[in-house]
């Protein structure tokens, strides 16, 4: 067994041994959501993957400062430097204050994260709460000569920067290559070079979210917030920076450039990127219109869904695939995960009741080593899950009497399941999974509801539905007359 943790570093394109900058401490920054609409399941995959990484680092005994920001300003339509602010546009559409939009979707995001049993980050800074830090950083970049101002907008000078630092290093691209794939500038452009990007954007009079700056009223560009907030809370160089793969080419490339231009230091030791959640091979995204909302998945209320799936079943579905592989969404895959998850939970219940013998016929130590080996190999949960199912096989065999286990091995096995299933993978038993009492009670309540509907006693059936809703239990009437329920707490 290897005791060393290896992490795939996007920057070097290989797995590297993880050696933190400060012994026993880890600083980790993950790009959080842009809170102008509900998070879809693809976003959740990225956050759940980093929750797993956070949990495993904690399990290994590291003291982790995990920073995940909330983007509540500066992210423009189409991720470019022109167009409407995403928040302002939504605010106009919904006739709300931009900060009402931010509040509404931040709360929604936290509810979803709680349903998936993700741990809260140590710090969750917002872009609007760090305008001063962003302005200060832009001032230094200007002083260092890597930016220029045009009509109240400050641009980062990519070609100048590239003379000293390799701008495209994160995606292994040369500048000429990148320039060849960029739209030519025309006479209307303020920018000096086609790859230049805005650090600060001049606000038009009608713009809703704006702040005073040395360059007039404006708002920060999208990339600067992450550079400013990560260096504030984790230092000019820190251990791990993460996000979805789609952020590599622009957002993270620009973050590196800004931080280098400001501090003359590489900001991050290990860059980690999660692969995409896809639907029929197409990346799930807000713009593609194929984004499931977690609530739709829990209730089954979506045209692509045969039924609802509980948050823990969905979390388990995600754990079955390594974070760097694409994960394709389908009803069949989720149904298989539901079976797998229940099998795992049933085995855990059984584990508590197993009787020890004087001998062990199974090799529990090898099983334990294999679990650590899987996780030390770049957090490979796909292999970990396969190993845990070997554990499930042992549990079932011991229960059936075809294998035996000593008291000390039984303790090891219990701790192993508790450590990896509950603490590391963040799974937990649910009301709807394998809990006989809850299932029985729900059957009873739902049969009373069906009866009252048949008798046209809608007062009773509505009362049942509303009370269940308050308990965060969603009820769905299927076309074939069956009634399904899911716990969304």
d(CA 28, CA 86): 27
Size of the site for Zn ion (CB under 5 A): 2
| 139/223 with CB nearer Zn ion | 223
Residue 70 in contact with Zn ion, rule: CB under 5 A: no
Q: Which two tokens stand for residue 158?
A: 């990519």
Helices (H), ranges, 213-287: 222-234, 253-263
Report the nearest approach of ligand AMP to the CB of residue 274 (Å): 6
Of 5, 26, 28, 31, the residue at the interface with Zn ion (CB under 5 A) is 31
Report the nearest approach of ligand AMP to the CB of residue 77 (Å): 12
d(CA 106, CA 239): 27
| 323/485 with CB nearer ligand AMP | 323
Give, to the nearest 10 degrees, the angle between helix 331-351 and helix 311-319.
100
| 103/435 with CB nearer ligand AMP | 103
Q: Which two tokens stand for residue 341?
A: 């998850």
Q: By CB under 5 A, what part of segment 209-268 binds Zn ion?
A: 226
Report the nearest approach of Zn ion to the CB of residue 72 (Å): 13
| 86/315 with CB nearer Zn ion | 86
Report the nearest approach of ligand AMP to the CB of residue 195 (Å): 21
d(CA 374, CA 384): 5
Give the contacts of 259 (CB within 8 A, at least 6 positions apart). 227, 230, 231, 236, 265, 266, 267
Give the contacts of 26 (CB within 8 A, at least 6 positions apart). 20, 57, 62, 63, 64, 65, 239, 240
Interface residues toward ligand AMP, by CB under 6 A: 31, 33-34, 42-43, 45-46, 243-244, 246-247, 274, 276-277, 283-285
246 binds, among ligand AMP, Zn ion, none (CB under 5 to 8 A by kind): ligand AMP
Q: Which two tokens stand for residue 402?
A: 């075809």
Residue 77 and residue 83 in contact, taking contact as beta carbons nearer than 8 Å: yes
| 45/55 with CB nearer ligand AMP | 45
285 binds, among Zn ion, ligand AMP, none (CB under 5 to 8 A by kind): ligand AMP
Report the nearest approach of ligand AMP to the CB of residue 145 (Å): 30
284 binds, among Zn ion, ligand AMP, none (CB under 5 to 8 A by kind): ligand AMP
Burial 301-338 (b: 16+ CB within 10 A, else e): eeeebeebbbbbbbbbbbbbbbbbeebebeeeebeebb
Q: Which residues bind Zn ion (CB under 5 A)?
A: 31, 226
């Amino acid at each position: 067994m290897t005791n060393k943790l290896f992490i795939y570093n996007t920057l070097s394109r290989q797995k590297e041994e993880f050696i933190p900058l400060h012994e026993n401490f880890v600083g980790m920054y993950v790009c959080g959501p842009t809170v102008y609409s509900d998070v879809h399941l693809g976003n959740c995959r990225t956050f759940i993957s980093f929750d797993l990484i956070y949990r495993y680092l904690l399990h290994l005994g590291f003291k982790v400062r995990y920073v995940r920001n909330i983007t509540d300003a500066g992210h423009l339509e189409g991720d470019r430097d022109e167009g409407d602010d995403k928040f302002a546009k939504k605010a106009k559409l919904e006739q709300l204050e931009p900060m009402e939009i931010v509040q509404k979707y931040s709360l929604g995001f936290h509810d979803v994260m709680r349903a998936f049993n993700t741990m809260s980050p140590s710090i969750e800074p917002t872009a609007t709460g760090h305008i001063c830090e962003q302005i200060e950083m832009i001032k230094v970049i200007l002083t260092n000569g890597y930016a220029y101002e045009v009509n109240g907008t400050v641009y980062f000078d990519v070609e100048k920067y590239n003379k000293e630092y390799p701008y495209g290093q994160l995606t292994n691209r040369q500048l000429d290559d990148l320039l060849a794939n960029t739209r030519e500038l025309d006479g209307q452009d303020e920018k000096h070079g086609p790859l230049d990007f805005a650090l600060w954007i001049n606000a038009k009079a009608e713009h809703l979210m704006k702040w005073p700056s040395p360059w007039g009223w404006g708002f920060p560009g999208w990339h600067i917030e992450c550079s400013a907030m990560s260096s504030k809370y984790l230092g000019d160089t820190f251990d791990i920076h993460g996000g979805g793969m789609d952020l590599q080419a622009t957002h993270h490339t620009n973050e590196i450039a800004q931080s280098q231009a400001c501090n003359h230091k590489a900001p991050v030791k290990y860059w980690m990127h999660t692969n995409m959640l896809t639907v029929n091979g197409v990346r799930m995204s807000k713009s593609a219109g194929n984004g499931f909302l977690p609530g739709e998945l829990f209730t089954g209320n979506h045209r692509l869904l045969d039924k609802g799936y509980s948050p823990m079943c969905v979390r388990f579905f995600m754990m079955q695939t390594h974070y760097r592989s694409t994960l394709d969404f389908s009803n069949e895959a989720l149904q298989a995960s539901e079976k797998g998850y229940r099998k795992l939970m049933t085995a855990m219940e059984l584990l508590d009741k197993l009787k020890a013998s004087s001998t062990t016929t199974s090799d529990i130590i090898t099983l334990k080593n294999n679990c650590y080996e899987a996780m030390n190999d770049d957090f490979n949960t796909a292999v970990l899950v396969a190993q845990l199912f070997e554990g499930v096989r042992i549990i079932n065999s011991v229960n059936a009497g075809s294998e035996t286990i000593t008291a000390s091995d039984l303790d090891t096995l219990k701790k192993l399941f508790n450590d990896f299933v509950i603490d590391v993978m963040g799974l937990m038993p649910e009301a709807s999974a394998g809990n006989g009492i809850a299932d029985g009670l729900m059957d009873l309540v739902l049969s009373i509801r069906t009866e009252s509907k048949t008798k046209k006693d809608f007062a009773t059936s509505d009362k049942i539905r509303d009370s269940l809703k308050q308990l965060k239990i969603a009820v769905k009437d299927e076309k074939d007359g069956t009634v399904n329920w899911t716990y969304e707490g």
